[in-house]
Amino acid sequence: MSRLAMAAVLFAATLAAQEWPSERFVSAEVCSDCHARLYEPGSPPPREAAIVHHGQSAAPVDLNSIGPYALWSASMMANSARDPYWKAKVRFETRTTPAAAEAIENTCLSCHAPMQQYDRRAEGQTLRFDALDAVGEQGVSCTVCHQISPENFGKADSFTAGFVINEQRRIFGPHANPFPMPMRMHTGRMPTQADHILDSALCGTCHTVITPTLTAGGEQTGRFLEQATYLEWLDSSYPRSNKTCQSCHLAPLENAAGDPAAMYIAHTPHGGFFPPTRPRKPFGLHTFGGANVQGLGLDAERDGDRLTARVRLVNSAGHKLPTGFPSRRLWLRFAVTDAAGKIVFESGAWDPATGEILARLDATEFEPHRDVIRDPAQTAIYEAEMAAADGGATHSLMRAARWSKDNRLLPLGFVADRGRPDGLEDLSTAPVGVEGDANFRAGADQVDYIAVVEPGGGPWTVTVEALFQSIKPDHAGALSGPTAEEETFRKLFRSVDEPALIGQEQVVVR
């Protein structure tokens, strides 16, 4: 492409950017013109980056599929304002506490539709749910994270979307000496090297959420640490080993040996390269995928009619597992089958029609933490359950005053509230309901199972599965209102409520 043709492309893109209804932010579509394809069609890709390493295996990839825009556009960041569960949850909260509807919507939109909400915030206004436009619906877009200033990082006022967008029109990135001309022409912004783009505190601005505890009339009686992913990371050993949020959620492109691989971070709009540029590393993959990674171990033995098994879980994430929104849970399905294939003991079985765990030993509001399981009606469930000010269970974030249970797996090196910033003295990341369990510790837990078997029925196959749900059926069931968003979610949930298998082990006992 000639210089004149390239200039024409850039000029057309600049006009498109000017039609975007936000002066502070740029559409991701504009960014994609230079951050989608990674090499010129028809030309061989850089050899070093032809393989992506995934920890246990390496495989060739189509490099055009791992461009920042391509990966971002399929992530929850891009779909944060389109997520059917989030939309239904907003409607649930506002119909539950209508007196605070405006504040609830504005707070939720500050992280889920940050571009449009920040523009309103800068003008001293709030954003309502029904006012979402193309800017808001693009979710957590490129020029949100890459324009955040570090001035209040790690402080209490940075949380719950208290981030600050720089007013100098700088696009922050990790690489030194960026080539500025294309971005300046294309977007009117200056690429700037800045270490804070790799700081976990940047992520912490939206991944630490503190909500007010409200009465039905909208009166605030306290506050609640709804999501503490960043604070959990601060309390872990990860900060001291230089492992940040970005280390996992924007993991670098790697070669077959597991070393960082170099790649061009931008291309011309027609797919070539800007002559002054060279491949850079590390090249962060903008997947933003969940990091619900865990290790699972199992051993078992039999003594007469008594079969004893020990299940060990190891949390490899830099935060609690599960973390984030309290609708998530991890549980163990443990089963013993005899030589004929008959199940003689099963804990944690679930109903495929509803996604719900089948057996409950008692009528308590939630399954308590389990250290030893002797009855199939007992299940090891790792979750956080909310309690209202009166101590009763609640699904409403606006009613939540404390945790009635929080036995989510702790990250390695966890010490509760070790990294708590000033101003959060009334809030804690400590687990709840695990007292007396010496096996529940930082980075791991062990559950013992005791089953009675017929001595002549062996050998016995012992299986344990770690199952994960992002939305517990009772949380979904609470969204029973007449709003269009709740109705849409209910229809979708019925077809996708099967739990995900994230770990499995099996042994044979004779």
Tell me the pLDDT tens digit for each residue of 321-379.
999 999 999 999 999 999 999 999 999 999 988 889 987 655 467 899 999 999 999 99
Same domain, residue pair 233 and 332: no
Measured from the Cβ of residue 260, the count of other Cβ atoms closer than 10 Å reads 17
**Does the residue 265 lie in any domain?**
no
Residues sharing a CB contact under 8 Å with residue 494, sequence separation 6 or more, in sequence order: none
Confirm if 115 and 3 have CB atoms less than 8 A apart. Answer: no
| pTM of the entire predicted model | 0.92
CA 169 – CA 146 distance, rounded (Å): 10
Place of tokens 């000017």: 18
Provide the number of structural domains found in the chain. 2
Which DSSP category does 441 fall into? B
**Does the residue 317 lie in any domain?**
yes
**Does the residue 284 lie in any domain?**
no
**pLDDT score for 347:** 97
Same domain, residue pair 20 and 148: yes
Same domain, residue pair 112 and 243: yes
Residue 324, sorted as left (phi over 0), alpha (psi -120 to 50) or beta, turns out to be left
CA 185 – CA 168 distance, rounded (Å): 16
CA 127 – CA 297 distance, rounded (Å): 48
The sign one gets for the Cα dihedral 62, 65, 68, 72 is negative
CA 333 – CA 346 distance, rounded (Å): 7
Same domain, residue pair 341 and 444: yes
Same domain, residue pair 232 and 358: no
**pLDDT score for 297:** 96
> What one-letter code names the amino acid at 67?
G
**pLDDT score for 19:** 74
**pLDDT score for 267:** 87
**Does the residue 267 lie in any domain?**
no
Same domain, residue pair 245 and 304: no
Domain boundary among 249, 277, 305: 249
Domain boundary among 218, 249, 280: 249
Same domain, residue pair 243 and 373: no
**pLDDT score for 272:** 80
Same domain, residue pair 420 and 484: yes
Same domain, residue pair 299 and 204: no
**pLDDT score for 483:** 97
Same domain, residue pair 234 and 339: no
**Does the residue 83 lie in any domain?**
yes
CA 336 – CA 334 distance, rounded (Å): 7
Enclosing domain of residue 132: 3-249
CA 474 – CA 389 distance, rounded (Å): 20
Same domain, residue pair 36 and 109: yes
Same domain, residue pair 321 and 223: no
Confirm if 464 and 504 have CB atoms less than 8 A apart. Answer: yes
Instruction: Characterize 301-319 residue by residue with b for buried, 16 or more Cβ atoms within 10 angstroms of its Cβ, and e for exposed.
Output: ebeeeebebebbbbbebbb
Confirm if 335 and 463 have CB atoms less than 8 A apart. Answer: yes
**Does the residue 282 lie in any domain?**
no
**Does the residue 343 lie in any domain?**
yes
**Does the residue 287 lie in any domain?**
no
Low-confidence ranges of the chain (pLDDT < 50): 1-2, 4-6, 8-13, 15, 40-41, 46-59, 363
**pLDDT score for 172:** 98
CA 215 – CA 378 distance, rounded (Å): 35
Beta bridge mates, 263: 280
**pLDDT score for 51:** 41
**pLDDT score for 50:** 42
Domain boundary among 181, 214, 249: 249
The sign one gets for the Cα dihedral 107, 204, 153, 287 is negative
